Amino acid sequence: MILVTGADGFVGTALVSELKRRGLAYRAVARKGREGYVGIGDINSRTDWRAALDRVDVVVHLASRAHVRNDSSISGNIQFQASVDGTLNLARQAVQAGVKRFVFISSIKVNGEVTELDRPFAAADTPNPQNPYARFKLAVERGLFDLSKMTGLEVSVIRPPLVYGPGVKANFATMLEWVDRGRPLPLGAIHNKRSFVFVDNLADLIVVVASHPAAAGEVFLVSDCEDISTTELLRRMAKALGRTSWMMPVPTPVLNLAAAAVGQRAVTSRLTDSLQVDVSKTRQLLGWAPRVSVNEGLWLTAGAFQRTNAALDPLARSA
């Protein structure tokens, strides 16, 4: 049986659907219990996982704080350590319950924030976390591998880049909104390359990693295996949404300069910088390949986005 924490989240929902599709036994865990989910409450160093771990062979740990405090204050450090301890507490109890494998969903941010064009991050690269969230993920990875050495628990780590799909939130949803409303965007001359992963592709890989003999003790990167620029992403979004793409070819240096002048360089960097990942290890060691292309993933994401908007606003434009 596979235990899925954070099963009611964006990735967790897709993973549960994939497990159902394959007819695999699972137990879905969320902070609040309701039909189909086991409630566990807050995840910390005192959380009692014994009932949830009964008869479980594999733990897939998705539950995590979306953000760890971006400061070095005492409260920030306490929160950071509490987040790490909460995951390691689960792993230690998993060992006691006889769990064979622990799959931790980390983040490509452990590798860093930016890559040089066509020089992607690789799984074997020296970690270079740039913010508290990435440092938290790395601290958990290291703690899990240390526990594995002491106990024999098989540990596997997956570091995804930006995950998108039906129901996506945050920056990706914002870009969909921009394009769907036909807003002119100064993003028509960006020549970066970024890796993305469709949520069903990630769910598929998680299931593979949960059972593949070669996955034990390894770190894997994942993507849709097609890196595209922000400009190209927005154009494909427009096509998937059935909208006209209105993009002005403002040079990237001009965008960065304007953003820095108003204190928004960090926001613009996510649009103009490159972040590519090399998934050759994942493909070769596990025989895995994404089953959904970028174009298909964008069509599915755009369709869900428009259906949701139409349900919320029956008068929303459809032309």
The pLDDT score that the predictor gives to residue 73 is: 46
Domain 2-164+196-225+277-291: assigned CATH number: 3.40.50.720
Q: Work out the average pLDDT over 93-120.
A: 97
What are the pLDDT digits (tens) for 31-88? 888 888 999 998 999 999 999 999 999 999 998 654 444 544 444 455 667 789 999 9
CA–CA separation, 299 vs 306, rounded Å?
Answer: 11
What stretches of 160-270 adopt beta strand conformation (E)? Answer: 162-164, 196-198, 219-221
Domain definitions of the chain by residue range: 2-164+196-225+277-291
Q: To which H or E segment does residue 30 belong?
A: strand 26-30
Nearest alpha-carbon partner for 105 in 223, 5, 224: 5
Check 26, 37, 133, 164 and give the catalytic one. 133
Q: Radius of gyration of the chain from Cα atoms?
A: 20
What stretches of 199-293 adopt beta strand conformation (E)? Answer: 219-221
Tell me 194's DSSP state: B
CA–CA separation, 238 vs 170, rounded Å?
Answer: 18
Mean pLDDT computed over every residue of the chain:
91
CA–CA separation, 29 vs 114, rounded Å?
Answer: 34
Residue 128 has pLDDT above 50, yes or no: yes
Is-contact 186 251, C-beta < 8 A? no
164 belongs to the catalytic site: no
Nearest alpha-carbon partner for 161 in 191, 125, 202: 202
What are the pLDDT digits (tens) for 87-98? 999 999 999 999
Q: Work out the average pLDDT over 288-310.
A: 96
